[in-house]
Amino acid sequence: MKRLSQLSLFALAILVLAQCEPTLNERTPDPGQADFSNYVAVGNSLTAGYADNALHRDGQLNSFPNILAEQMEEAGGGFFFQPLVNPGVGSNADGQARLVLRLVMGPGGTPTLAPVPAAESGQDIFSRTVQGPFNNMGVVGARSFHLLIPGYGNLNPFFGRLMSDPQATVLGDAMMAEPTFFTLWIGNNDVLGYATSGGTGQGFAEIGDPAAVAGNDITPMNVFSGSIDAVAATLTAGGAKGAVINIPDVTSIPFFTTVPWNGLVLSAEQAQQLRAGYAAQGVPEQFIPDFQPGQNGFVIADPDLPDAVPPQLRFRMAQEGELILLSVPQNEIREEGLGSITPIPDQFTLRGAQIQEVQQATNAFNTKLRETASAFDLAFVDVNSVLEAAKTGLVFDAVLLNTRFVQGGIFSLDGVHISPRGAAVVANEVMKSINAKYGSTLSPVNISAYEGVQFP
Amino acid sequence: MKKSLTVVTASLLVLCFSASTALAGGYQLNLLGQRQIAMGHTGVGMPLDIATIGLNPGGLATIDHNAILLGSSATFISTHYRAPAPSSYKAKTDSPMRTPFSIYASYVTPVENLRAGIGIYTPYGNALRWEEGWKYRFLLSEISLTAIFVQPTLSYRIGDRIGVGAGFIFAYGAVNVQRDLPVDAQDDFTPMVELDGTTTAIGFNVGVHGKITDQISFGAAYRSQIDMEISGGDADFTVPTSLSGTFPEGNRFDAALPLPAVLSFGLGFKATDDLRLNLDANLTFWSAYESLDFEFEQNPETLNSIGPRNYNDRWIFRIGGEYDFNDRLQLRLGSYYDPSPVDEGYLTPETPDVDRIGISGGFGFAITPQTDLNASVLLVLSSPREQTAQDAMDVGTFGTVPVGEFVTRAWIPGFSISHRF
């Protein structure tokens, strides 16, 4: 009998052991001192989920605030209501569809991948208005001071489609959602309007009038500062906590870095022909670009050359550090001698002095954003540094990401806005800062779960 | 003895609450015989049955009958992963059950003191399938590694006390690796690559067994390293058409995986007439596994990969016992300590290796005087092991290895049937 009981005890022990579970406990995200129950995202296209040159539903569903809100849900977050457009190809302000990669006939008949509109025209996203209050108050095209303009919806259809009232402000509508927590990512357009137009507007100025700021201008510093202070004061008035996100340098953005300044590759014969061509048109010797075999700077227009240079001779070779924009007609470079026989027009380049204007503004705005975060005791997210580091490559979840166009993974096909994978990177950075500031433990997302550019 | 059985039972239960569970180090499977598994996989110093063909060919000389032995285990292995704090992300494997087996036959030859035998067994193997879309799907989604050794063996008894044996090994190996590719498709599929190859190789297994006294015996064995070199394996890419230049169709790959040599020592004690004890130690020469490299026939510039592994040689220590409960029933218990050959920084999703403690038990039952049934169950216990980003950076593997914690649970029941004639 005793033997039998020992045997059964032995058998029981084996059975119990077989039920042993590995001991890796579940972690439960905690809000810390933050209250995520009603998160409202305020910002521009990057907050809205605009990507591939259009506002479309896929982009909205993968907007960084939506990704963030999903993670907040684990820590007491509530429903994140987005002003979604219907499924489809989306639209930009000009009614064009989102870009997709397609194989198109390239030079010499070889098929090459190029971003092309997904449809002949975009879907109508503007005639159907949607009823808030919304948690995602990202408004495509918005600058800092736009958030405060009553009736801004009449100027910008992306706000027009979701405003609560024809006289509403973006900020007012955001406050209608009664945020307990917010993110503020604004300021990109305050610089990008100038940068993407090739620096054709007004450069960085300390003082200016918001009413006089045109689409191609850099927002004057006093306007930016005043707007940021007002926005932050309003957002925090009800005791909400939040995070302020800074803006990236142009040299991290593929729209400015994809076409190399010295992409004009010539044989000795071609260099000779080009020089002869300029001479034949009567260009004086000292104004003929110094074409050499190998890589050459593209020939670009430079309206800022000294007055002594006749207007028709205000061109020169691009120099290292100068940027050729992605908007340049690349087929004309390949086929029609743009950048070699004829100069690349000013709206497609950022020349040295213009880059300085942009970087000076970016730095000043980022300083202001950091100070504002500090003054209102908010989390600060240095996305600029992350993208700076990503230039040479960053690894998340064994995926190598960088800021290259198409292959890099972070940016979408317009070269300015982020892809779902880029949005996941931003969301993780925002969570990192929120966790550090508020003692919360929001769980970062898996970068590998989000897509970069899709290939056909 | 009864008391010790209770003590062992109690300590098993304690272990259950203090540790969690895992299989043998690296991709080794020490499952060469059911009687031995039940005794902590000991038996190099004491040839209990003809599974000694695999464990120590020298022991075969002491066996004075013809026999066949058919056995198999079933592996139930579950690995869990947890991402570094504060992530709430967890993933687990959904690994298919595998059935490592061992088949032995022995023959008492007409030549005096000469025994012949053959063993067919699976000393290495791995099967792991991570849940779909897991965090490190670009490193690995699924792996299957199979190695089958066929070992004809001769063993010769010198005098009354010494046996020597040697076997020639013909090895067959098959590997299948699947992982997602870090590109995205417009169409509704996940770009991935499947690498599939088989190969054969040869090696040897030699051993010596001796009786020091009637109560004490010893053994030593050495099984050689066998390199599984896959040449021209299929590399099957499922990718968007526009990327077929980078990931060409019909591509082939070369890769090599060492199945390391093992040096084993064992001591056997006949403590009483009805109690036998074994102490074994195995040194696995894991340092042969330096790197797992894939070389591709087409587009090697982009596709070739080098995966440093830098495993270390490791000793496994084992203890086991067998108690004759009555004339027909034997009870067995054993345990072993199997430290991981893998340093932090080199843990990979295919072998998220941990230090392991094995606990085994089982019984043998004589169905007839000639026919035995053996059953065993092996539980492999381990604590969670963490690999940090710093670990990976320190050894230069960051970006190619997972970061986080792993724990593995394994329970491996098995049985065998043997017949003597």
B309-331 pLDDT, tens digit each: 999 999 999 999 999 999 999 99
Q: Is B238 in the A-facing interface, judged by CB distances under 8 Å?
A: no
B135 to chain A nearest CA, in Å? 6
B39 to chain A nearest CA, in Å? 14
ipTM score over 0.85, yes or no? yes
Chain A residue with minimal CA distance to B184?
Answer: A454
Q: What is the mean pLDDT of residues A268-296?
A: 94
Q: What is the mean pLDDT of residues A250-261?
A: 95
User: Are B251 and B237 in contact, with CB atoms under 8 Å apart?
Assistant: yes
Whether residue A103 and residue B80 make contact (CB cut-off 8 A), yes or no, is no
User: Are B384 and B20 in contact, with CB atoms under 8 Å apart?
Assistant: yes
Q: How confident is the model at residue B94 (pLDDT cuts 50, 70, 90)?
A: confident
Chain B contacts of A100, Cβ < 8 Å?
Answer: 186
Question: Which backbone phi and psi does A377 adopt, to 5 degrees?
Answer: 55, 50
- For the beta carbon of residue A430, count every other beta carbon within 10 angstroms: 25
Q: How confident is the model at residue B1 (pLDDT cuts 50, 70, 90)?
A: very low
Whether residue A18 and residue B379 make contact (CB cut-off 8 A), yes or no, is yes
Chain A contacts of B187, Cβ < 8 Å?
Answer: 456
Spatial separation of the C-alpha atoms in residues A141 and A192, rounded to whole Å = 10
pLDDT score of A13 more than 80: no
What CATH number is given for B2-420 in this structure? Answer: 2.40.160.60
Q: How confident is the model at residue B43 (pLDDT cuts 50, 70, 90)?
A: very high
pLDDT in tens, A384-431: 999 999 999 999 998 999 999 999 999 999 999 999 999 999 999 999
Q: How confident is the model at residue A2 (pLDDT cuts 50, 70, 90)?
A: low
A412 to chain B nearest CA, in Å? 13
- For the beta carbon of residue A288, count every other beta carbon within 10 angstroms: 16
pLDDT score of B114 more than 60: yes
Whether residue B186 and residue A454 make contact (CB cut-off 8 A), yes or no, is yes
Query: B293-303 b/e with 16+ CB inside 10 Å = b?
Result: ebebebeeeeb
Report the share of chain B in percent with pLDDT over 70. 94
Residue type, B338: D
Whether residue B184 and residue A451 make contact (CB cut-off 8 A), yes or no, is yes
User: Are B136 and B87 in contact, with CB atoms under 8 Å apart?
Assistant: no
User: Are B357 and B381 in contact, with CB atoms under 8 Å apart?
Assistant: yes
The pLDDT assigned to A120 comes to 96
More confident residue, B29 or A3: B29
Q: How confident is the model at residue A14 (pLDDT cuts 50, 70, 90)?
A: low
What CATH number is given for A39-253+353-449 in this structure? Answer: 3.40.50.1110
- Strand pairing report for B192-211 and B216-223: antiparallel
Q: CATH 3.40.50.1110 in chain A: give the residue spans.
A: 39-253+353-449
Q: Is B140 in the A-facing interface, judged by CB distances under 8 Å?
A: no
Give the start-to-end residue ranges of the domains of chain B: 2-420
Whether residue B86 and residue A17 make contact (CB cut-off 8 A), yes or no, is no
Lowest mean pLDDT among B9-23, B168-182, B218-232, B360-374: B9-23
Q: How confident is the model at residue A109 (pLDDT cuts 50, 70, 90)?
A: confident
A189 to chain B nearest CA, in Å? 29
Whether residue A27 and residue B88 make contact (CB cut-off 8 A), yes or no, is yes
